[in-house]
Structure 1
């Protein structure tokens, strides 16, 4: 005997209204590749190779009832190359498919797409749901599709013969030189046809072989990019033992000239000469010698020769050091700018490593009588220098001139202060302020840096917010606590001069930590999540944020009504202290699954076991609202509507299962659609009707489709259907997926 649901569901609804979180849900299936309808193709793509010339792809998406809200949007999202959706990329968004259970998304590959593990998913906005994740796919956007050019060190010069000779034990670097933003790509390097492990735009090698490279756009896309480079053959040869023959002398006077010569000559090789690592004689065939003159300015240094040629490796010799016989140093001991205060003197001096030096001091270019020592005391302004003459050694007398010291009277001083160490406002927990520079201005308006010689001569007083800081009288001030935050300046005094600096703000982090917590992290209907902190907010200014957007809330605790990242920011001592994040996520109703569809049909006297999964606990109710099981499984043998309430954390989900006894009549082949209320509709057994996974298709005599419906409701033909004749023949096909269950004819008699 059949029973009907006439009570109980209202009681369940009442329970929900009393605060139980319930959910019923749509099923969002994983998206799958689809053929491009604009190309007339019927074959779905298996990998994506997008480019400027072609970048249009489709995926098919199916979902199941109930219907979503009219304001819903379906969003197609792409993972990263490893399949992670931590930062999903939106590919497409549609708002007009809320009544279509099977449709296509169109998308273009982002230009930075490169990898073999990309996945898709679809997200709905109302209700908030996420589909099953798709399979992984190889996807590449080919934005560089020209042959790569490689050269030594990427210098842009391809060897004319395509060959580079390298000495045994040495290495050579080959690199692409014509690829913009070369580091943005993945490469495949080859040696004599064998793929190497290097994947960057350059490779350093020490083995012989024929080297080339191409862009790695994956197994399916690389060939179409046409990026294979030129080839460079690397040959490993034994070194020739290149050296510079021992010169006749290595210490030169000003009238000396020597010739440096390579030890391997007469073979048509090319020679390049270097001094201190820089070329002094460009590459020349048989240029095996170099002349060095002691009269040339700066001739002193380390000399090398580099040799290259057919059949030999590029080789550079060890260095030969050439010195000056009259070489000595003159060093100025005092700063080059000296401030002379009124009625005072300053001492200028030099040091030298000459063996027997003599000295002569000059003021404004004129020799000072009697100033023939390494030191001189001055009391007048002017430009001072000294000449030092070496009177001993193997060469005739050699004279050198020191740097010039400018001595001036000051008209004014300027002092700047700065942070001594790395400082970031509201991040640093300590800082030192210091005198960064002292500049003197002379009578002509010239500014002279006198920091080194006058920094310790001034007396100092630090101020905070224009108030004297007790005990702060040094050139440096150390601040270690947020209570010292403020604006600092410095007053400096020397003789009759008093200098006030500009102000420098200091805002230190207090080092305090603020922690917030919640009594739940999953948001669903009927569940209240409270976010709070143990930090004392009394008298503090604070703000709550959701996804970095300020909330219009001024209470010490808040109720989370949206998913997202929540934070608390408290302002103290001029700095915001930012708490940890509490992440609230939406409840995923799809976690609860049944192993059967929601409409069960079986013969009377038999039963069906229904298994649920994905929840923490389960409660099954019959039509009378009787709790008939608390197991995840239940055996159903009687007709009726059964409700499962599954709990996961604080959230609950409901699932409905309808049991009907299998109809015993066969599929009718005649319908008398005359409006008399008898046999007006084509009613088929419940084995096929009202089944979400069964599709009913009806065609007219011309083979035209007049009905294509899943979950057929025994409601054809409709009153609006037009008939071309009184007795009309139709054909039907009943399918489950790609499997045909039944097919035949229907005669409709009007």
Structure 2
């Protein structure tokens, strides 16, 4: 009986050992070298998705809790400080071959990255993939240098500094806003070729030529490049050309705000408009919302540069046919008209800051006294607006029905007794001759069409109350004579 028990125990032990060895054998997992579904990874905000395929064997060795991990090396292919770029869910990958998708980090920039695949249960690691170039293009749009000025100049024996603009002009997305980026400067050798010059955010140029800079994305193509700048040498006895650029273009739309005029770099600057010096305009850039000929003088040290630009506004032209202050007699109508060159114009009229309903044309007839405003808006193209403000006040009837010839006037601008107003039988349309003489008997005014408008000009009075004399002769020979005292 004892022998049978020993035999059974031996059999059980052997079976346990076989099962243990079989489980250990199944736990050995081999992961093949990752096969890249791409030749280079040129990622950006709009695209960052890459496939890798790998085989593993045996499939039965993968436990239900297993996760596959994709690690990415540094730019030199070293995994000492690798980055995990993908981790699968537990038990989600069970069939070989497997294809996984990953994204590269925004700090990626180099030509010799590699990836490898690891498993967690059982633990296994593949060999590294083939090397590949990888860059995340943080900035992938054209940018400006030299404030978009297309030229620069240096004196003989000197140099000119080209820099990447920050934040640049207009909608310029300066790559300097991304500290991890680096830059390569080039000099053109033909219309289609160029040579590398130097690295960095700026370049000191002491050789004539056309230069530009690109963000360093290695072998990846990119739209992150600058405008071209042509640099020339100016002799100490000569004057170089100072190109002027407008940030909003030329013509420009004032509705977008002020346009910035920029010129080449120098030691000092002076801006002019239509040949007249602009006070305090002594920087490399000058802002304006006007049209005209703008010029600049640039001190380069041992030589100088000058340039000009005929700056034009795209905003439409317009005129109004009334003055800022207008006088209207009760019962009369003031017809206001706006002439303009606007594309698809719209008009809105206001009376005492209130919208006038249905007043949407370029003309409006006014019968009330008050403050008026009209806004003309261009709804196509530049889409700007012009505003006119004017006042209508009660005026004085130039031909009131007066009974007597006045002998005193006070031309002080208060619209009361400012002019010598005659009865209607002696005014315009009656062919009555009106003659006015000074104290010395000299004729100072004479007409047969009197408009109740004397004195029209300053009389240069020599005394406080100066006396003039009048002679009124009607067509039938009637004569009226008298004096006019002008009160200062």
Pairwise TM-score range, normalised by the shorter structure? 0.3 to 0.5
Q: Which has the higher strand share?
A: 1
Q: TM-score, normalised by structure 2?
A: 0.42
Q: TM-score, normalised by structure 1?
A: 0.28
